[in-house]
Structure 1
Amino acid sequence: MITNTLKNSSIRTGRSFDLGKMNLSQLWIAYLTYPTILLYFALALVSYALMIYNFTSLAPVAISIVSVILVYPLVWYCIHRFILHGRFLYRMKWSATLWKRIHFDHHQDPHLLDVLFGSPLNTIPTIAIVTIPIGYAIGNIAGAAAAFGAGLTITCIYEFFHCIQHLNYKPRMGWIQRMKQRHVLHHFHNENGNYGITSFVADRLFRSYYVDARGCPRSPTVFNLGYDVNEAKQYPWVMEETGSPPRDRPDGANTTRTAA
């Protein structure tokens, strides 16, 4: 019954599932069968197998994993704030399509599942660049494999909670509710804050954290990230790839659904 419901066109927009029209059971099915997530799972298993094969001591492996857990939120924050929300990628023809895929499309319609997940061609090299040097410096090959596996595992956790934050669902646990509310504000009130997904420690540290709409003025660029019609005339490559001018409001699900 759930599978048939999942296949129903009413929860799809184009080729993507519409999280604003899905329930938690449908999300679990979509998430656990999504090719990108399955690829992360497979690579994580391979990494942990390499860790075990090259294992010599528990301490460097454990320190590598803990180091990645501690570093990951800060790295994500910096990438999200200074690269994905920067305006330099769409102003260069060679990187405009990349920016469109990795973040602009997600803000144009935050409910679409296929643009919520990053492209593995971009995410996997980034995870490797961030984690493998840390692990190798601490524990050689075993440490590098452990760190990369940890990075992939954290990414899977991040992506699931990211889905929850855009899902037509009110979490029962208070801490997940608060996490979701902060992220909803980032997408529907002001994009210049609340860059975290599961952790907002970096937002607090760099003073980009706000708890409600009263704590930050509404942004006119929350859905287009500054790539409005005037910008599109000067830097047309994202608009050409999209096939239409940038929108000031997302299509698809009712934007008020995730505000609960």
Structure 2
Amino acid sequence: MSGTLRNPTIRSGRSFDLGKMNLRQLWVAYLTYPTILLYFALIAVSFAFAGHLFAGWRLTIVTVLAVIMIYPLVWYLLHRYVLHGHLLYKSRFTAALWKRIHFDHHQDPHLLDVLFGGPATTLPTIGAVTIPVGWLIGGPGTAATAFCAGVIITCIYEFFHCIQHLNYKPRARWIQRMKAYHVLHHFHDEDGNFGITSYVVDRALGTYYGEARTRQRSPTVFNLGYTSEQAERYPWVMRLTGHAPKDRPDGARPESGERAPPPQGARHVA
């Protein structure tokens, strides 16, 4: 993939830096990224299975709608209570998992490699959420349909997640708002706005906020509570990282720690 984009300035370490990429470069990176290509292949395979075991249009449509409805809730619960939880980093056996699936993303929000979830964790989760729902609705045919729908939604989530960290101001106002809310999650207070494409569950459960001025800035917005003190007590993530947890993005001035700048194109919160 490194040969698909010629501009070396968009690379940061082992990953493309979304803060330096434009929309065209994102499309190239996204459509050639190995994880996304794997998802596309699984969509094709599960779609073929769903067609071979077709359960009828009514059950198929019900299955797709069920997956669409439960996905935001499942994502919210996982994001809030697992990815932002402290349990995983407190064990040497799960510290690497927590570091990979979310800590690295909050430490460097623009790095593409850690923005995408790893297939080893995302695919079992998608299967565990969607396949039982589909099976209960109509058996193996709708189970395949549910899994297919889950992977498609994941691809959509991942693309919009990239947009939210991209050096790009969307033209559509609804995407601007979506991006602004996610920027607040990463640069102001991580204990809110857990959604990606929808903030309905955040609104229902009281974690939505639309403007920075409505909340104090969180001192743990970049380290998710894995502070230097916690790192001394539970050192496994720090050992894997090779340095103490950061409390501000790379390149931020010390005095700017109270209000780190959001990515270009997402400075104004509607």
TM-score by length of 2: 0.93
Question: CA-to-partner distance for each residue in 1:100-134, whole Å, 9 max, x for gaps?
Answer: 00000000000000000000000000000000000
Note if contact 1:127-1:152 (Cα within 8 Å) is conserved in structure 2: yes
Distance 2:193 2:167 in 1: 20
1:184 corresponding residue in structure 2: 183
Distance 2:64 2:45 in 1: 16
1:117 corresponding residue in structure 2: 116
Distance 1:57 1:223, change over 3 A: same
Shift of 1:252: 6.5
Distance 2:107 2:55 in 1: 48
Shift of 1:8: 2.3
1:107 corresponding residue in structure 2: 106
- Residue 58 (1) aligns with residue 57 (2): yes
Distance 1:66 1:58, change over 3 A: same
Distance 1:118 1:252 in 2: 25
Note if contact 2:183-2:262 (Cα within 8 Å) is conserved in structure 1: no
Amino acid at match of 1:42: A
Note if contact 1:109-1:252 (Cα within 8 Å) is conserved in structure 2: no
2:206 corresponding residue in structure 1: 207
Helix, strand or coil at the partner of 2:89: coil
- Residue 256 (1) aligns with residue 255 (2): no
Question: CA-to-partner distance for each residue in 1:123-153, whole Å, 9 max, x for gaps?
Answer: 0000000000000100111100000000000
Distance 2:105 2:56 in 1: 42
Shift of 1:58: 1.0
Amino acid at match of 1:256: P
Distance 1:24 1:252, change over 3 A: farther
Q: Which has the higher contact order (CA 8 A, sep 6+)?
A: 1
Distance 1:91 1:48 in 2: 40
Helix, strand or coil at the partner of 1:257: coil
Note if contact 1:165-1:183 (Cα within 8 Å) is conserved in structure 2: yes
Note if contact 2:178-2:196 (Cα within 8 Å) is conserved in structure 1: yes
Structure 2: state its 5+ residue gaps: 253-259
Distance 1:4 1:123, change over 3 A: closer
Provide the aligned length of Structure 1 versus Structure 2: 258
Helix, strand or coil at the partner of 1:6: coil
Amino acid at match of 1:110: P
Shift of 1:213: 0.3
Note if contact 2:185-2:192 (Cα within 8 Å) is conserved in structure 1: yes
Distance 1:232 1:115 in 2: 20
2:257 corresponding residue in structure 1: none
2:156 corresponding residue in structure 1: 157
Distance 1:252 1:24, change over 3 A: farther
Helix, strand or coil at the partner of 2:237: helix
Shift of 1:214: 1.1
Structure 1: state its 5+ residue gaps: none
Question: CA-to-partner distance for each residue in 1:15-44, whole Å, 9 max, x for gaps?
Answer: 100000000000000000000001111101
Deviating more after overlay: 38-47 vs 175-184: 38-47
Distance 1:11 1:55 in 2: 45
Amino acid at match of 1:118: G
Note if contact 1:50-1:142 (Cα within 8 Å) is conserved in structure 2: yes
Shift of 1:205: 0.6
Question: CA-to-partner distance for each residue in 1:46-72, whole Å, 9 max, x for gaps?
Answer: 111000001131111111111000000
Deviating more after overlay: 5-14 vs 21-30: 5-14
Shift of 1:9: 2.0
